[in-house]
Chain A
Amino acid sequence: MKLNRRRFLAATAATLTMPATIDFASAEEKVIRFAMPQDFTRVYTFVTAEYSQGQRDYITLVNERGGINGYRIIADVSDHGNDLPRAIEAYEKAKREGAVLIDPLSTPVARALVPRALEDKINMVTAFSGRSDAADGTAFPYVLPLSPNYWTQAGLLVDYFRQQDKDLKGKKIVFVHIDTPFGREPLPILQVLSQKLGFEFQAFPYTPPGNDQSAIWPQVRRARPDWVMFWGAGVGQTVAMSEAVRNGLPMDRVCSSVWLSESDMDVIGREQVKGVLKVEPCVSGKDPKPVQAIINEVVSKGKGAGPENKVGTSYYNYGVMMGAIMIEGVKKAFERNPGGPITGLWLNEGLRSITNFTAEGMIPPMTVTKEDHQGGGGGRIARWDGTKFVPATDWFAANQDVVWAEIRKSSEEFRKSGK
């Protein structure tokens, strides 16, 4: 069949005018909708696939066990490609379908959706991303990080250095970061801490996406730092680590934010980067009880949302962690208002009354309150031993006073001027 102009145009017209959506459930069923438009194709590709898999597997687990109080949880997953019109369309669609929670997993999208979420009273969960000052629940009632934000992570790392070195006075800490708002976020905290604890601090930004850092690391090497922090995402992380290895920097003095996973290690070579450290918000690997439950009840029955070899990787576990926290919020919401109705406000009350939640031992005890949407900022440092991440410390929270001072500064500005 010859593909000529007329047939092409007819085919295009037919495809684009076909009925667009098929609803998953009718309105009368007992469902709670979580909308999860995330970036599968553009910038966050390194994390979204595994994170979403973990989230969906956990929700499938909960549904397989009968849901919560007979209500099924539906996760509407779609791709917004980090493109704002698509993200806003996905948000509006979610709103129309009655979603009570949205997880965009993208900082620019989260920032753009903040005014809408606050107005429409839909809970926006911004895991490890979004606005760091949203931890202040009084200024952002409907934006919930529910995870240690970047300021907390930086604080945890500096405190770890202090624990290792006993006293940071006179030491040199180097911060290699991607030159975007995400990379620049920890800078104020690090500057305050450097004054408080007496260490010398130097920052080296690199151009996004970070596939060419060959000019940065020789400078790092010459600065002879005591500790190196690298703060990037995806390809920036792998290149940073290989450059660090090539420049002969000792791996056990090099550490990163939460965005480091086994697949990154694979790219460089698992043995090469033995000793590198990262911030861990939850237990990694297949040992935690929720992951074991998922393996037994979901994956082995073939209901997993993705390839089996990704179960238990870092980002997968982040997804499980966030899923568990969201479900805990639903449970608490039912405890407070058993009759419903299922709205954003209802879930908001539940999420803000999570107390000492550990997800069966997977995360440090987390308490969310009306003022603190971060959940306490607990985490731990883990070390790569060549095959997996092993914890190097216990769960701890550190420098929260500095972090909260910064949070309050930003959220005050938001409250006053709408910034």
Chain B
Amino acid sequence: MDSSLIIELAINGALIGLMYALVALGIVLIYKTSGLANLAQGAIAMTGAYVTWAIAYGVGAPIWLAIPLALVLMFGVGMLIERLALRRMIGQPVIMAIMLTLGIEIMLRGLLPGMFGSAVKRLDIGIPQAPLFVGDFLINRATLIGGSVSLLVILLSLVFFNSRYGVVMRAVSDDQTASWSVGIRVERAIAIAWGLAAVTAASAGILWGANQGVDWSLSLLLIKALAIAILGGLDSIVGVLIAGLIVGVVESVATGLIDPLVGGGTRDIAASVIILLTLLVKPHGLFGREHIERV
């Protein structure tokens, strides 16, 4: 097996992994503040892509205007979802809230293609298709840009969590009651977390939509994002970054190495096997914090 193939697969895999990590970032943000896994994250990414498409092609705005506008809109959408749906679920067991996000996912999957048409749509953000060769390795230009944007956003969110408001949000994720008692506006922090998660999902949706075209299958990004979030630890942003790289590289290299032996499709279960191994060996992920439950 040739090492230059493996290196090339690894590089491309790392970049793709970073693009998946962008979706996972949103899941981690929501888990940190609300304590539940948002299974609608993929659908929100799809919504972001559709909204951008609608602004750019439906209304005719240029793409550099459409993207920020769409991101602002999606921030609002995230806050709206939290306000209308999740706030009523506060006392309920977590499985109910997860089921609610599943319901939201189904609804969005029906609403967006229904409104805008179910055929695949083009979303052009100006990335040329020409191949980019570094020595003997081909770097996919679109994934390079996508990966760099994700890296940037993840680093930005790390910086944000060290800023003043970031400390507020970390307090809320630690203990909501204690935060209330020191005067922190918990509802606002949670709403902002949801808004930010929607924005990251939307940017991931735009990047992936530019790659493959905008249609309902963008909501399938969820599974990979969940694998990354679990591997990295559901409440750690650094974990998302590292886990994204790991999952991306493992998947790509597995496709190159193991597929010829098994006859294909190992990419499928690479994510599932990673989840299972993580849960067996280190249930809270690489960087996650253990929950200590008290009677």
A contact set with B: CB distance below 8 Å: 40-41, 45-46, 49-50, 179, 203-207, 209, 211-212, 214-216, 218-219, 221-222, 234-235, 238-239, 242-243, 245-248, 263-264, 266-269, 272
Give chain A residues whose Cβ lies under 8 Å from the Cβ of B2. 222
Tell me the minimal C-beta distance from A212 to chain B in angstroms: 6
Contacts of A45 in B (CB 8 A): 113, 118-119, 215-216
The segment from B68-76, B140-148, B152-160 found at the interface with A is B140-148
B window 252-291: CB within 8 A of A: 252-253, 255-256, 259, 263-265, 267-268
| Inter-chain contact B120/A205, CB cutoff 8 Å | no
Partner of A263, one of B120, B130, B218, B259: B120
Residue of B124, B215, B256 with most chain A CB atoms under a 10 A cut-off? B215
C-alpha spacing A268/B122, complex, angstroms: 7
Known: A211-B208, A218-B9, A238-B212. A263 touches B119 (CB 8 A): yes
Contacts of A221 in B (CB 8 A): 138
Q: Tally B residues with Cβ within 8 Å of A.
A: 45
Chain B's interface: helix, strand, loop or mixed, by majority? Answer: helix
Contact among A234, A246, A266 for B131, CB-based, below 8 A: A246
Q: How far is the CA of A209 from the CA of B213 in the complex (A)?
A: 13
Total inter-chain residue pairs, C-beta < 8 Å: 118
Check A214–B213 contact: CB distance below 8 A. Answer: no
A238 CB contacts on chain B under 8 angstroms: 120, 212-213
A267 contacts B13, C-beta separation under 8 Å: no
Q: Is B8 an interface residue (CB 8 A)?
A: yes
- Please list the 3 inter-chain residue pairs (A to B) with the smallest Cβ-Cβ separation, ordered nearest first: A205-B264, A267-B213, A215-B255
Docked complex: B74-101 residues within 8 A CB-CB of A: none
Residues of B within 8 A of A203 (CB): 264
Contact check, B217 vs A235: say whether CB atoms are below 8 A apart: yes
B138 touches A247 (CB 8 A): yes
| Contact in complex: B120, A267 (CB < 8 Å) | yes
B176 on interface, CB distance cutoff 8 Å: no
Is the CB–CB distance between A234 and B129 below 8 Å?
no
Q: Is B110 an interface residue (CB 8 A)?
A: yes
Chain A residues with CB under 8 Å of B117's CB are: 49
- Whether the pair A235, B5 counts as a contact (CB closer than 8 A) is no
- Chain B residue at smallest Cβ distance from A205: B264
| B235 in the interface (beta carbon within 8 A) | no
Q: List 30 A-B contacts (CB under 8 A).
A: A41-B110, A41-B113, A45-B215, A46-B119, A203-B264, A204-B264, A205-B264, A205-B265, A207-B268, A209-B217, A211-B220, A212-B16, A214-B12, A214-B16, A214-B140, A215-B252, A215-B267, A216-B255, A219-B5, A219-B9, A222-B2, A234-B120, A235-B212, A238-B213, A242-B142, A243-B140, A246-B142, A247-B131, A267-B213, A272-B129
